Chains A and B, each alone.
Chain A
Amino acid sequence: MSEKIIEIKKLNKSFVTEKGELTALNDVSLGIEKKDIYGIIGLSGAGKSTLVRCMNLLERPTSGEVIVNGRELNSLSDRQLRAERRKIGMIFQHFNLLMQRSVIDNVAFPLEIAGRKKKDARKKALEYLEAVGLSEKANAYPAQLSGGQKQRVAIARVLASKPEILLCDEATSALDPQTTKSILALLKEINEKYGITIVVITHEMSVIQEICRHVAVLEHGRLVESGTTEELFRAPKTAEAKRLVFSGSEHILEMTSERVVRVSFHGVSAYEPTIGNIVLETKTPINILYANTSTVNGNAEGEMLLQLPEDDEKADRIIRYFREKGLNPEEVNADVKSAGNHNDN
């Protein structure tokens, strides 16, 4: 499992624009293991799309290496690159289907590129349409489909070229929450069934939470934090990661005064009535400013921001109590606030 299928080394990418040079990626290095589902998260303009486009060289990096399956993509000839790209599928936010081709002919397209006869390609294409549950739409045209169905066609089309890697560029960002869930479930199934390594680009933490095992946080073209998804949710280290994990809590922070702690619940402890017990035992009220508990890959992960009493003695008692329970309250007043302010930019 530790074999790296994608390795990015010291990647830089800048664009020349009318306003001068724009750095999209700044010294990014990362490694993605075979069969992993790897998320790359960041706000728009962070460079995520550029980074994922460097992984199949739709975008040529200014410097640095992109090694896929042990081959440095920049050193390949055009012909070799095209052959390599067939093993690196990609799906997009706006699906990018051929609008003048029927659904089945869209799926047959990569097979035609690979030199298969049209009839043979169609037969094979139908199998992939079945795999994504859309065989009854084979003769429809993309304009007649819903967003979720279009993305399923795009996934079937990618599967037809038998990729080892699937790059997803904001693949669920144009879809409603319900459809997003079903597409993510399909991606997870593909990962398990075909052993395809999946790279997910998103600005939504919920997408990372739903399917990713590893995650990298991108900010202004720099990779600021990476690790397992559990780690990121349990203990985000950088301000950017905290901001993403706590997104939605900024408005509460304006009201906070005095001491605020962040408590991370991990695994089973999220199911214990910890807060209730503390209030009962210390006889001190605490104010829950923000709470977000959820299930990450089967483990319960929870975050809470708690406002402690102004009385230091009482506050310390509460902190001590958390420590006894094996939880690690962190005074986050300053940095969460700054992360919150940061978001206004």
Chain B
Amino acid sequence: MLNQQEIIMIIEGLRDTLIIVGFSTVFGYVLGLPLGIILAVTDKGGIKPNVIVYKTLDLVTNVLRSFPFIILLVVLIPVTRAIVGKSYGIGATIVPLVFAAAPFIGRMVESSLKEVDKGVIEAAQSLGAGNGTIIFKVLIAEARTSLLVGATIAFGTILGYSAMAGAVGGGGLGSIAIRYGYNRFQPQILWPSVIILILLVQLFQIIGMRISKKLDRRKK
């Protein structure tokens, strides 16, 4: 059985995980949402096609997405140090996670926005709506359920990445599972950590789907 110290460690790990994943998701969207919008708007068939902008962002997104996360983690150490002042700990974990999540989130936002019926966009244009109005009141508003499903997926993915950050001295449950469970072979710490991570993903998945279903007005 776990002793009190170990239980406290796991609870603190859970707290750290929530902080890391929460901040990473939020900052991931701060970068990824505008990225996704620009990708959707400037692509062929978008409301303001621009080949140069689209191709450039498309390339950057793909490059960042193809980086194995563990490599990105190491490559970004100077950047992380410049932003949070050190290369380990909770803050240091968030920086590479945001870089990994933003292009992924951008792609999901792009695909959600592209699902919006072209006819509805055309109708808005015929009513004299400008591009800003179309982006916020048509594209994002009409795609909201799809965007929320995307956010749920993003959360789960970032949670998975956060465990890897443990390998380079980041914090959180994933880190505990690797350090105590894997490196020191302590299954009594490994398994509770893993199970809590699984439950966390399940919980957010259910909440995300519930909300998106509730917000969807397309059903009778």
Contacts and interface: CB of A to CB of B under 8 A. Distances in A.
B141 A113 contact: no
Interface in B119-141: 119-120, 122-130, 133, 137-138, 141
A161 B127 contact: yes
B37 to A, nearest CB: 17
Interface in A73-118: 78, 82-86, 88-90, 92, 94, 96-102, 109-110, 112-114
How big is the B interface, by class? 20 to 34
Interface string B145-174: 100000000000000000000000000000
A96 B123 contact: yes
> Main SS of chain B's interface residues?
helix
Contact of B126 (A89, A94, A142, A143): A89
9 contacts: A58-B126, A82-B128, A85-B125, A98-B141, A99-B218, A100-B142, A141-B217, A154-B123, A161-B128
Nearest to B216: A100
B220 interface: yes
A99 B122 CA distance: 14
Contact of A82 (B122, B130, B215, B217): B130
Nearest to B134: A113
B117 A100 contact: no
Contacts of B214: none
Nearest to B138: A98
B44 to A, nearest CB: 12
A121 to B, nearest CB: 12
Contacts of A284: none
Given A83-B128, A86-B128, A96 B219 contact: no
Contact of A110 (B127, B130, B142, B217): B127
A92 B119 CA distance: 8
Contact of A101 (B117, B119, B141, B220): B141
A228 B137 CA distance: 42
A167 B122 CA distance: 13
Interface of A: 56, 58, 78, 82-86, 88-90, 92, 94, 96-102, 109-110, 112-114, 141-144, 154, 157-158, 161, 167
A158 B128 CA distance: 11
Contacts of B219: 143
Contact of A96 (B119, B133, B215): B119
Contacts of A56: 126
A141 B217 CA distance: 7
B144 interface: yes
Most A C-beta atoms less than 10 A away, residue of B119, B126, B133, B137: B126
A192 B127 CA distance: 22
Interface in B187-220: 215-220
A58 B128 contact: no
A94 B123 CA distance: 10
Most A C-beta atoms less than 10 A away, residue of B120, B128, B138, B145: B128
Contacts of B141: 98, 100-101
B217 A58 contact: no
Contact of A113 (B129, B142, B215): B129
A85 B127 contact: yes
A112 B220 CA distance: 26
B127 A96 contact: no
B122 to A, nearest CB: 6
Contact of B220 (A84, A85, A102, A144): A144
A97 B128 contact: no
Contacts of B124: 109, 113
Q: Which 4 A-B pairs have the closest CB atoms?
A: A96-B123, A86-B128, A90-B126, A96-B119
B211 to A, nearest CB: 14
Given A90-B126, A113-B130, 6 more contacts: A98-B120, A99-B120, A113-B127, A113-B128, A154-B123, A158-B127
A143 B125 contact: no
A113 B136 CA distance: 12
B218 to A, nearest CB: 5
B210 to A, nearest CB: 17
A264 to B, nearest CB: 39
B119 to A, nearest CB: 4
A96 B128 CA distance: 15
